[in-house]
Amino acid sequence: MEKELDQNSTAFPADHEALSGDIHIIDAASERAILAAFWPYDLVLAVFEAGFFAGTVFYLSLFYARGELGFRIAIFFGSALLASAFSGLISYGVFQVHSSHVQGWQLLFIIEGSLTCIIAIVGFFWLPGTPESAWFLNESEKLAARMRMLRDGSSEVGTKFRLKDCFRTWGNWKFLLWCIISFTYSVAFTTTATFLPQIVARLGFSAVKTNLWTVAPNSVGFVVLLCVTKSSDYFRERSLHIVLALCISLTGLIILAAIDVVDNKAVAYFACFLLCSGAYIPSCLVHSWHNNNNVNESSRAATTGLLVGLGNLSGILSTATFRTEYAPAYRPTLITTSACNITCIICTLWLGVWMKIENRRRDKIQGQQGGVQQVDTSDNVHGEDDPSWRYFT
């Protein structure tokens, strides 16, 4: 059974966003239903949102070359950070509204769900499936886009979905490292993204002001995200940039675990900036990294789905350790997250150093210099085993 890879590539993220927006609006319309059975709403929302990030990462890999993908994913992902920042502002404003008909949280769900639905509808009609179907490109530009991806991105473009290709890299020893990296980096991300308001609340602010005080860390995190991913693309290097980000967030975690937050509010708030500056970057660079080292579109789609799914699954670990009995310090949570960061650093360095050494070995055998910049992916028929292949490290 074969389907075109791009058959629903535009509809997929747009439909998922529209459906998740609908769920938010339904949430707001039925307060008693939520209180009585909140978990089914969360389950349905999770089902509709589960494939959105993975689908978007794969979608972007169809348009952008290896040295461009990290920053493009960061623009998309960074928009979510800005949304988090401004949702804090919106939350602060919404909870100032006092009405006997609509609660503040209901109004917040209506606003956020409606915006999601609007963007999803626009995206469904606006976004092309592939460069070849882009309505804003003429024929010569479409050909140029195709040749650009063949030169530094895929061995073939616009191919039909082949199930046998999906798992071609899963038996490789490096795949286990990819799985460990994808699972462990995301623990810090989940801890930061989900529980930043709780961390800030430990500083002693009211619930309403807590939302306001989360704006600045998320905004700084957005700027740092763009700078680091742009540097990663420019130098065509992933592993050390990922390690840098992990070390930044690890520093924030250690500070929060080591100090008394109530007595050291300024230091604790600074640690929140470190968390946001480091925890979000691996989400972009890890998934651009493994896509950069996979020239088969079917394999990229399956691998991205699995590795992003592992990252989502690791959120359970963060949630399970963020227990009320650990309040207000939450040291077990911070220690567990730090351990995951350290594990991810070790695996990332292991994989990155091995790739760099292997590139030098192949350069020496073939008498070449320049490594990854000399790779023409259109000539690659054997993937990583091709003698001309150079890893994007």
User: What is the rounded distance in angstroms from the CA atom of residue 37 to the CA atom of residue 59?
Assistant: 35
> For 330, left (φ over 0), alpha (ψ -120 to 50), or beta?
left
The label of the residue with tokens 């470190």 reads 274
Domain assignment of residue 83, yes or no: no
AA identity, residue 291 = N
Measured CA to CA in angstroms, residue 6 lies from 47, 199, 243 at distances of 21, 42, 34
Domain assignment of residue 88, yes or no: no
User: What is the rounded distance in angstroms from the CA atom of residue 301 to the CA atom of residue 167?
Assistant: 10
- Residue whose C-alpha is closest to residue 125's, from 285, 35, 248, 11: 11
Measured CA to CA in angstroms, residue 359 lies from 33, 67, 192, 367 at distances of 58, 17, 36, 12
Domain assignment of residue 66, yes or no: no
- Looking at residue 341, its pLDDT comes to 98
- Residue whose C-alpha is closest to residue 41's, from 55, 57, 26: 26
Q: Is the peptide bond before 328 cis (omega within 30 degrees of 0)?
A: yes
pLDDT tens digits in sequence order for the chain, 393 residues long: 334 344 444 444 545 554 455 445 545 554 555 545 567 777 777 777 788 899 999 999 999 999 999 999 999 999 877 876 777 677 777 777 777 677 777 788 888 788 889 988 999 999 998 888 899 999 999 899 888 888 887 777 777 788 888 888 898 999 999 999 999 999 999 999 877 887 788 777 776 677 778 888 989 999 999 999 999 999 999 999 999 999 999 999 999 999 988 888 889 899 999 999 999 999 999 999 999 999 888 999 999 999 999 998 988 888 888 887 887 778 899 999 999 999 999 999 999 999 999 999 988 888 776 555 556 666 666 678 788 889 999
Residues 312, 314, 318: CA angle, nearest 5 degrees: 115
The CA-based dihedral angle spanning residues 230, 235, 236, 242, taken in that order and rounded to the nearest 10 degrees: -60
The range of the structural domain enclosing residue 273 comes to 172-393
User: What is the rounded distance in angstroms from the CA atom of residue 308 to the CA atom of residue 320?
Assistant: 20
User: What is the rounded distance in angstroms from the CA atom of residue 352 to the CA atom of residue 291?
Assistant: 14
Domain assignment of residue 103, yes or no: no
Q: How many domains does the chain have?
A: 1
Domain assignment of residue 347, yes or no: yes
Domain assignment of residue 128, yes or no: no
Domain assignment of residue 176, yes or no: yes
Contacts of 58 (CB under 8 A, 6+ apart): 9, 291, 300, 301, 304, 305
Provide the β-strand partners of residue 160.
4
Crossing angle of helices 173-201 and 265-279, rounded to 10°: 150
User: What is the rounded distance in angstroms from the CA atom of residue 194 to the CA atom of residue 188?
Assistant: 10
- Looking at residue 16, its pLDDT comes to 52
How is residue 4 annotated by DSSP? B
CA 61 to chain centroid: 14
User: What is the rounded distance in angstroms from the CA atom of residue 177 to the CA atom of residue 181?
Assistant: 6
With DSSP H G I counted as helix, E B as strand and the rest as coil, what are the percentages for the chain, rounded to 5?
75, 0, 25
- Looking at residue 11, its pLDDT comes to 47
Domain assignment of residue 200, yes or no: yes
We report the CATH number of the domain holding residue 234 as 1.20.1250.20
The label of the residue with tokens 């590539």 reads 9
User: What is the rounded distance in angstroms from the CA atom of residue 123 to the CA atom of residue 187?
Assistant: 30
**Greatest extent of the chain over all pairs of C-alpha atoms, in Å:** 77
